[in-house]
Amino acid sequence: GIRDTQLFHFLKKMPKGAVLHAHDTALCSTESIIKLTYYDSLWACLQKDDLDFSILRFAKTEPQAQDNCNWTLLTEVRQKYGAENVDEYLSEHLTLYPTKKFEDNNAAWSTFMDIFSLLDGLVMYAPAWGDYYYNALQEFYDDGVQYLEFRSVVPTLYDLEGTVYTPLDTVRIYVETLEKFKKDNPDFIGSRMIYAPIRNTNPEGVLSYIETLKEIKAQYPDFIAGFDLVGQEELGRPLSEFIDQLLEIPEDIDFYFHAGETNWFGSSVDENLIDAILLGTKRIGHGFGLVKHPVVLDMLKKLNVAIEVNPISNQVLQLITDFRNHPCATFFADGYPVVISSDDPSFWKATPLTHDFYIAFLGIASQHSDLRLLKKLALNSIQYSSLPTEQQFEALEKWQAKWDQFIADVNEESPNRGSSSLHLD
């Protein structure tokens, strides 16, 4: 398999800079998530007298009754069906892997959203939330990622005592966990959050989002990177419906919009690309339909707006089958600002970034591409991050130290290390 190839091992070790497009509840590996299910007081909503559940919930006593639901402690479910069988069930239902052939983009998204319904009651338990984020940072760091910008709906957490958690409480746990992780790993650059609530709302809903955004920005100005709207574009509302509300967002908060995650041409989803660039987005999330918009592409270059490309996500969600036809090949060929990211890596059992780099390099880029492209992509990820200029310089220093060591190690391991002409730099 891919993981056994020399190229994958090379890319795994390579300092890849940053991930700038990922969603918080899909960061952690399935293995880490399953470990959380061993916490005390976790209940499963069994659908029938069988190993079949789609909701998990922490509670002191049996949670509130629901239709077709037999609440059972997961410890008891494990005793009845065997821990290994329960873990296997969870592993299968927390990912889209092994992938079946979906009929279309909507069918893929439907299964995709089912994972969130199983996951939410587990990771949104306040005592697990910080552990989940710490484990995610560890997995990204171990995969050669030194900086992470993630989208978050800022979910409402809960605990066994019935505490009412506010959005600020959720973000506080993020910030405290990040500080602990940076203390434990001094060469880790950091992490910032793009507040990204669900796009399937109305103008009043967006105004409510903006109030939350302002509160978070006031309390944690260095942690919040900007604003986006997430969810399946084809089922959500287009940006054009929220222009007046979005223009009320203070100028010191940047936009990082998902746009053009579609194969349709001329639809409202496709035209989100136009509104995103006119609203001043700093990066475009996915931008799969960009090749159909030469004027927008021209503006991207002039305004130096990066495209966040997530190759594996695009294939899993049925936008493309053959990576050689991915629009990013055009972006590479014509020198557009590109950053490679992973979107929701845990949902398809991918590494935090190595798999997407592997596909981008082997399946999308020119066969003439070499280490220069890989290095450029790593540098882009820091250059197009939301970090202020001074912090970008500090980040580049931390990345460069890792890069220099990586190159020294590769040259040392190379069988031709005696020949200076074959050394990498």
Active-site positions read: 261, 286
Distances from the Cα of 416 to the Cα of 54, 419, 423, angstroms: 54, 6, 8
Alpha helices in 286-388 (DSSP H): 294-303, 311-316, 328-333, 354-359, 371-383
Question: How far is the C-alpha of 43 from the C-alpha of 30, rounded, in Å?
Answer: 19
Question: How far is the C-alpha of 71 from the C-alpha of 296, rounded, in Å?
Answer: 52
Q: Which helix (H) or strand (E) holds 191?
A: strand 190-195
Question: How far is the C-alpha of 408 from the C-alpha of 425, rounded, in Å?
Answer: 8
Distances from the Cα of 164 to the Cα of 157, 195, 212, 259, angstroms: 8, 20, 16, 34
Q: Which residues sit opposite 18 in a β-bridge?
A: 147
Question: How far is the C-alpha of 351 from the C-alpha of 353, rounded, in Å?
Answer: 6
Question: How far is the C-alpha of 155 from the C-alpha of 240, rounded, in Å?
Answer: 25
Question: How far is the C-alpha of 403 from the C-alpha of 16, rounded, in Å?
Answer: 9
Please, are residues 57 and 159 in contact by the beta-carbon 8 Å criterion? no
Question: How far is the C-alpha of 26 from the C-alpha of 33, rounded, in Å?
Answer: 10
The letter for the amino acid at 39 is: Y
